[in-house]
Amino acid sequence: MKVEIDENSGFCFGVVNAIAKAEEELQQGELYCIGDIVHNNLEVDRLKGLGLRTIDHEAFADLRDCRVLFRAHGEPPSSYALAEKNNIEVIDASCPVVLNLQQKIRAAYERVKANGGQIVIYGKRGHAEVNGLVAQTNGEALVVEREEDLNEIDFSRLVILFSQTTKSLDGFKRIEELVRACARGGVEVNDTICRKVANRIPQLREFAVRHDVVLFVSGEKSSNGKQLFAVCREANPRTYFVQGVADLSDEMFEGAESVGISGATSTPRWVMEEIKNAVI
């Protein structure tokens, strides 16, 4: 049976950078990280074994005189201020794409807050990246996840639209179309989707149809994983969501001559390699 790993799958640059920084810093001793460094339990457990301690913002507020990694999702300004106050050394692994977006949103907010303009972000409410983006506007930005949320926008005011970097390009275009149709006070659209992530969708569709069976590898917490799995299953109904070798079963491969293995931007290459070896 032919088994192929999707060469376009796996960690994006931001995650690769964050993990590399964590591994480097862990050589010097204990290191904290606010939230899971990546939405993949197997990789989180691997780094935990090296000494990485995952904490939440509440625990972060109690830390003093230590080192804390800011993961690729980015952090709000309050985290930087708290680190300085408590003599915490920040190992900043924020993705450059996310940092650039934070700066754009902050600049737009400062420009229009006095004349009633509003910042609207297409993204997942409560997502770490989105929380950091909203914080650039003193919490005033409106987050829309789906079309129904557009009812919360005051279209008599200027709307400045942004997107979480990992959202679907098609979804953003649909939201843009609806916002433009409703806007009475003007609209400014900023396409801030990371193309490295967005381009995965057409690549994944092409990969999925080449194989009899596709194993899509992702952690359950990964928003990107859920999105790409849905794309993959639409292209190939014999697509299975797996987190690791333990999720494999013989029934998945009945009658299959070709198996493709792909994964989310939070999926480690070593996990896909383990699965490939188990299938072979």
Residues marked as catalytic: 129
Closest CA to 262 of 1, 2, 11: 11
What Cα–Cα distance (Å) separates residue 83 from each residue in 37, 78, 203?
A: 18, 9, 41
214: tokens are: 């596709």
At residue 40, what is the residue type?
N
Please check whether residue 189 is in contact with residue 175, taking contact to mean a CB–CB distance below 8 angstroms: no
Please check whether residue 207 is in contact with residue 252, taking contact to mean a CB–CB distance below 8 angstroms: no
**Phi-psi map region of 6: left, alpha, beta (phi>0 left; psi -120 to 50 alpha):** beta
Measure the CA–CA gap between 47 and 49, rounded to whole angstroms.
5
DSSP E strand boundaries for the chain: 2-5, 31-34, 52-55, 67-70, 89-92, 118-122, 142-144, 159-163, 187-189, 213-217, 239-242, 258-263
Which residue, chain included where needed, has tokens 């859920």? 226
38: tokens are: 């990546």
